[in-house]
Amino acid sequence: MRGARSLATCWPVAETLWWEAAMEEPGLSGCPLSAKTASFQDAVRTLNTLQTNANYLEMVKRKRGDPQTQLEAMKLYLARSGLQVEDLDQLNIIHITGTKGKGSTCAFTERILRSYGLKTGFFSSPHLVQVRERIRINGQPISSELFTKHFWRLYHRLEETKDDSSCVSMPGYFRFLTLMAFHVFLQEKVDLAVLEVGIGGAYDCTNIIRKPVVCGITSLGIDHTGLLGDTMEKIAWQKGGIFKSGVPAFTVLQPDEPLAVLRDRAQQISCPLYLCPPLQALEEGGPPLTLGLEGEHQRSNAALALQVARCWLQQKGYQDAGELKASRPSLPGQLPLAPVFQPTPRMQQGLRHTEWPGRTQLLRRGPLTWYLDGAHTTSSMQACVRWFRQALHRCERPDSGSEVRVLLFNSTGDRDSAALLKLLQPCQFDYAIFCPNLAEMASTDNADQQNFTVTLDQVLLRCLAHQQHWSRLHEEQVSPDPWSTPGQEQDGPASLLLAPHPPHTHSASSLVFSCISHALQWITQGRDPLFQPPSPPRGLLAHPVADSGATVLQEAAAIHVLVTGSLHLVGGVLKLLEPSLSQ
């Protein structure tokens, strides 16, 4: 290595060749495999050919056309697949969008309604470990067999109906999975389908639905600016595109300007839009609600999920939908408030049993505690840091020995990684580790995590840029900790301050690894009882920072590892730490 802030391992030529070979693997294009003989991995590899090549993606961004034509194209794909838009009305859809928390809100909503004995479908993105996670029945990813059957049925149907005059015979990756979800849910005869918007709302391919039962919008923030716009108002306009005439919609409290945009969008098409009261209002007069997902920010998601689920139950004629409490009047010129009601025992059960991996998730393994959260916007990162610091404040301190804090980070797309890293700085990490969202270097059998929308050079340079940002933050004069609250005692219940954490001589150390597996091998030092990979490659520890840090990690009484910045990174870590998720 060339110094403390260089690659901990080199990217061998073989790795570059593997990446290029994956792009051109024979058998994935041209004549498709037989549905009877093809395996689940064959289906996933063929699905991956529908990803947009990185170079073509850049060209498309520069020559963006009318986005409305994308929705029309999706309707044509739906027709070619054997369905009409009207057929989707049977799915009794709940449509959810937002910038942060939309997946968690969908998970809460699905689990609440499943507690009523309903058969649920749930379409979400992205997946963490296996692509079949995106399509769930009764909270469980569809089986490999069911995925394979529906994949080839849809793939062959689209092949048979392609127009020779058209240059595009197949929908892209996300469109294909959206179409497949519709077919699966109809074939499996679900009572309802919860649909999470992919990006935005107005022009997202899930928005071909015409009659959802209810819609919801979670907290808004700045994300996907290249597609949605660079202001909250522009993003709110996109998100409000899922509103439908006469279909009830709910949103959580938003800043005034984007909330006004949502209100205007709803009024223009006669969509009844309601503002959710805080969860505290629903708890008054009863016991506090227990949530299956950690973090204070999940209370806002749960409040929205309760309103959406209750509205769905009412629309479908269910009587047990929660007793109304005294209503609170809306202020003039503001959105009407959604009803304040007493959550039913089944609603409480649903909230309590909600699971949503990769979001404020804790794994305790020997001396290691893993904190997993796919936060990737400034607002969601603020919530992640608050959760992480609260969790650290609650955990027991070891009787003897040192504690080590490690950050494992990556960020992709057009996100401001420097801003995200600045928010993480007050956590007082001993080590910051950066790596691409690539679980292992020899991933020839790992089709679920292949990504052709970026090149190897791009992801490596991005990690180096993250490391440089982190280094500059430590070289600058650090401003007072924005997370501490003046006047609070450190041991006070509302304090987010960390327990005493004496500085180490290596407190600003950072390393870049070539894949997640190598990063985890260094972090765990063989001390995670379930993560026991083969011997690390030669040269993995051939650097002073890696070598000295290994000794510190081997001797630490407790190691706290925050994995954040990208859901894909979290998914790669979970794949390695929880092998059962790949089965």
Q: Where is the binding site for ATP, in residues? A: 359, 373
Burial profile 259-280: b = 16 or more Cβ within 10 angstroms, e = fewer = bbbbbebbeeeebbbbbbbebe
* CA 99 – CA 106 distance, rounded (Å): 13
Point out the annotated binding site.
125, 196, 224, 359, 373
Closest among 350, 321, 361, 352 to 338, alpha carbons compared: 321
Q: How far is CA 401 from CA 371, 406, 526, 557, in A?
A: 21, 16, 18, 5
* CA 415 – CA 412 distance, rounded (Å): 6
Do the beta carbons of residue 573 and residue 362 sit within 8 Å?
Answer: no
Residue whose structure tokens are 């979290």: 570
Which one-letter DSSP state was computed for residue 323? Answer: E
* CA 81 – CA 184 distance, rounded (Å): 12
Token duo for residue 247 = 């279909």
All residues at 6 or more sequence positions from 61 whose CB lies less than 8 Å from its CB, including other chains: 226
Which helix (H) or strand (E) segment holds residue 189: the answer is none
Token duo for residue 379 = 């607002």
Which one-letter DSSP state was computed for residue 26? Answer: T
Query: Which backbone phi and psi does 558 adopt, to 5 degrees?
Result: -145, 140
Kindly tell me the sign of the dihedral angle through the C-alpha atoms of 350, 353, 355, 360. positive
**Order of strands, sheet of 192-196, starting from the edge strand that comes earlier in the sequence:** 140-141, 135-137, 120-123, 192-196, 93-97, 214-217, 249-251, 273-275
All residues at 6 or more sequence positions from 386 whose CB lies less than 8 Å from its CB, including other chains: 295, 296, 297, 483, 496
Point out the annotated binding site for Mg(2+).
125, 196, 224
Do the beta carbons of residue 106 and residue 135 sit within 8 Å?
Answer: no
Which one-letter DSSP state was computed for residue 476? Answer: S
* CA 274 – CA 216 distance, rounded (Å): 10
Closest among 213, 219, 222 to 242, alpha carbons compared: 213
Q: For the chain, give the longest Cα–Cα distance.
A: 73
